[in-house]
Structure 1
C-alpha cells in the first residue's frame, strides 16, 4: 500500500505586490455589512409599519374606504323611491381618536354617553400667552374684571387651547392607530403596561429634516417602506389608551383645564409620554412655535352638555361629551354632501375642488334620504336603538381643508361660501348648516352601530341653535 503523495503547503499571499486586492476586499466587506444593516433597518421599519405593538390587534377598516364609490355618478343622487323606507342605511363610520387629526374608519363602534368609544378621547393643545393690543400693557387690569371662568376671563390669563384644522390645517397629516389587547395573540402579556391601560394609541406624522449624510439613508428607507418616493420620514410615538388610576399616579399625569372654543374641560396632560425631540419635530411639522401638550379625556370629570340636548330628566342621565366641538355624535346624509359638492364643482375655481365626504368629519354617514331631508329630524332609530337629534351642524371653514394634503383653500373658501349663501337655515346661527348633531338615549348606551344598519326617522320638528355651553342657556326640546 503506497503512501499518499506529500501535499505541499500553500504559500502565503503577498498583498504587498497587489494593493488593489486590499481595496477590493475592504470594499466588498463594507458592501456586505451595509446590505446586512440596511436589510435589518428596512425589515424593522417594515415590521413596525405593518404590525404594530406586540400582543395587540388594530381597530379599524383596512383597504378601500366604504365611501370610495361616492365619486360614482349613480351614487351622487338619492333614489327618491327609498325616501321613507327601510333602504336608508349606515354607509360608513368614523372615529377621530385625537381631535382634528386624520380619521379612522371602522365597521362598527360601541356607543358611549360621550360618543363613540374611541372618538376624540385625545386633544393636542398649545400654550396661549396674552399679548398687548394697540400698545396697551398686557397685564393692565380691565375696568371691570370679567366673571371667573368665562372666555373673557381666560383670555387675560395664560392657558392651554386646543389645536384644530381651522388654524392648523396640517393636523390632518397626523394619523392615529388604535390597538387593543388581543388575548389570543401569542405575544399577549397581562403585565404589559399597554394591556393594563386597555390598549395603545399610535400616533404618526410626517417630518423631513434638511438632508445630510447622517439622515439620507433614513429618508431612503422611509420612501422604500411606503413605496412612495415623495414620502416624508414618519415620526411615531405611542401613549396608553386609557391609563388606570394607578398608572396616572405613577406617571404623574396632571389634570388641567384647556380651551375648546367657549368651553374649558379638564384633561389628563400626558405630554411626559412623548420625548422632547418628538415634540420639536411635531411643532416643526405643524408650523408652530408655542409649547404643545397632549390631553386625554379625564373620565373622573364629566364634560356635561346642555345647549340643545335633552335635560337630565328627559334622558334619565346627564348628557355629556368628549372633546367634540358641541355634541357626542354627528350624522351626515350623503346626498346632502353630494348636492353641496356638485354646486362647488360648477364654480370656476383657481384650485380645483375635490369632492370628499371626509371634509365634513362626521361619525355616521348614511344613504337613502333626499338632499337636506335631515334638517328637521328630532329623533331617529339606527339599528334597534333611538337617538335624539338635538340640532343642526353649523359649519366653519374646516371643510375647505383637503383631508389628504392639509391645504386650506381659504382664498376660494369652498364649500364654506356656498353653505353661507344657501344654507343659513337656523335662526340661532348665521353659519351655513350641513349635517345633524345627536345625543344617544339611555338605552342606546353600550350598543353597537354597524355599517349596514337600517336608519328610520321617528320624529320631526323645529330646531334653534344654541351657542353658549352654560346650563342656564339650555334650550327646552322644541
Structure 2
C-alpha cells in the first residue's frame, strides 16, 4: 500500500492503513497550486516527485533536495480558496506563507500549498462520495504480474513507483484486473470503476525527477495497452465500505466484466 500525502509528491509505503470512501487516510490531502489556484503536477514539474512528506501529529514534515525541512500544520490552514483538479472546481484551505515561500523557492515559480480540510468539498462524479485531490477516483490498483509482463517488453525495467498506485496485488494473472468488476480485499469491497488511463508522467524517473529519454514505459504502453478508454495500466477503484487494510490480505474476485 502507498499513501501519497501531496499530489505528485513521493509516496509512503504502509503495511496497515485505514481505507475510507475518500481513499486511504491522508492520501492526496495536500495540493500545490499557483496563486491563481491552478493545480501543479509532475507532468509539468517532474522534480515534484522528489518532494517527501512525512506524517507528524497535526500536519506534515516536508523535505526536498537543497531545501531545509519545513512543517505544514493543518491548524494554520483556515482560509477557504477556490481551486480545481481537472474539470472539478471546489474549495480547499490555504494558510502558511512561509510554506508557500519554501515551495516557490524549490519550484522556481510562485506557488501555494493547499490542504483538503477535515471534509472534502469535492465529490466523485455523479455521486456524493467525497474525493481528495486525486485525479478522479479514490483508489488506484496495480497488479504486480502486469508490471512484470510490461517489464519483459522494456529494455530497462520500471518499478511500481512509476505508476503511483495505492494498492498492489500479487498472485493474479497479468492484466487479469482488466476483467474485474467487483473485488474484496480483506473485509473491504471495491467497485472497479474503470481502467486507469496513463500519460507522460509514467516516464519520469521517481528517483531523479527526470523524464526518460526513450519515452518509456509510455512508448511500449502505446503499443500494447490501447483500450477503449485510452492507454491504460492499472484500474481505478471506489470503496463500498470502510475499514483497515493490511498487506497480505486476501483478494477475492466477486464479479467480472465478462463470463465464459
2:82 corresponding residue in structure 1: 257
Describe the superposition over 1:81-138 as per-residue Cα deviations: whole angstroms up to 9, x where unpaired.
xxxxxxxxxxxx10000110011111111012210111000011123xxxxxxxxxxx
CA distance in 1, matches of 2:100, 2:135: 29
Q: How many angstroms does 1:274 deviate by? A: 2.1
Q: How does 1:19-98 map to 2 (within 5 A)?
A: 93-98=1-6
2:252 corresponding residue in structure 1: 456
Which of 152, 160, 171 in structure 2 is aligned with 1:342?
152
Which of 233, 240, 244 in structure 2 is aligned with 1:434?
233
2:113 corresponding residue in structure 1: 294
Q: How many angstroms does 1:265 deviate by? A: 2.6
1:165 corresponding residue in structure 2: 42
Greater than 6 Å deviation, 4+ residue runs: none
CA distance in 2, matches of 1:299, 1:179: 16
2:14 corresponding residue in structure 1: 106
Q: 1:336 to 1:102 in 2, by over 3 A?
A: same
Q: How many angstroms does 1:306 deviate by? A: 1.8
Q: How many angstroms does 1:258 deviate by? A: 1.6
SS of equivalent residue, structure 1 residue 97? coil
TM-score norm. by structure 2 comes to 0.93
1:385 corresponding residue in structure 2: 188
TM-score norm. by structure 1 comes to 0.52
CA distance in 2, matches of 1:110, 1:300: 16
Q: How many angstroms does 1:354 deviate by? A: 4.3
Q: 1:400 to 1:279 in 2, by over 3 A?
A: closer
SS of equivalent residue, structure 1 residue 436? strand
The count of aligned residue pairs is 258
CA distance in 2, matches of 1:275, 1:126: 10
Q: How many angstroms does 1:270 deviate by? A: 2.3
2:105 corresponding residue in structure 1: 281
CA distance in 2, matches of 1:419, 1:115: 27
SS of equivalent residue, structure 1 residue 161? coil
1:46 corresponding residue in structure 2: none
Q: How many angstroms does 1:271 deviate by? A: 3.4
Q: Which runs of 5+ in 2 are unaligned?
A: none
Equivalent pair of 1:254/1:268 in contact (CA under 8 Å): yes
Q: How does 1:194-209 map to 2 (within 5 A)?
A: 199-207=58-66
1:132 corresponding residue in structure 2: none
Which of 208, 218, 221 in structure 2 is aligned with 1:419?
221
Which of 117, 129, 134 in structure 2 is aligned with 1:324?
134
Equivalent pair of 1:390/1:438 in contact (CA under 8 Å): yes
Q: How many angstroms does 1:281 deviate by? A: 2.7
Equivalent pair of 1:319/1:439 in contact (CA under 8 Å): no
Q: Which runs of 5+ in 1 are unaligned?
A: 1-92, 128-158, 181-198, 208-233, 312-317, 346-352, 463-478
Select the structure that is richer in strand: 2
SS of equivalent residue, structure 1 residue 235? coil
SS of equivalent residue, structure 1 residue 370? coil
SS of equivalent residue, structure 1 residue 162? coil
